[in-house]
Amino acid sequence: MTTVTQMKCACDSCLCVVSIEDAIQKDGKAYCSDACANGHQGGQAGCGHSGCGC
């Protein structure tokens, strides 16, 4: 059996892959940053990770 330790950030437009252990958990989903976890409220742009334009 294989244990999944990483997954794509739950933000649709984000390209980041996060460690489930280190991810920000919200509503049962894993996010790479507060900006993504909060749905980019108030026009919060991007997660700040290089190469990702979410």
Predicted local confidence at residue 25, as pLDDT: 96
Closest CA to 46 of 23, 15, 18: 15
Predicted local confidence at residue 42, as pLDDT: 83
Predicted local confidence at residue 28, as pLDDT: 94
Predicted local confidence at residue 47, as pLDDT: 92
Q: List per-block mean pLDDT (blocks of 10 residues) for the chain, which spans 54 residues.
A: 92 95 96 95 86 89
Predicted local confidence at residue 2, as pLDDT: 85
Asked if 14 and 37 count as a contact pair (C-beta separation under 8 A), the reply is: no
Closest CA to 46 of 7, 16, 22, 21: 16
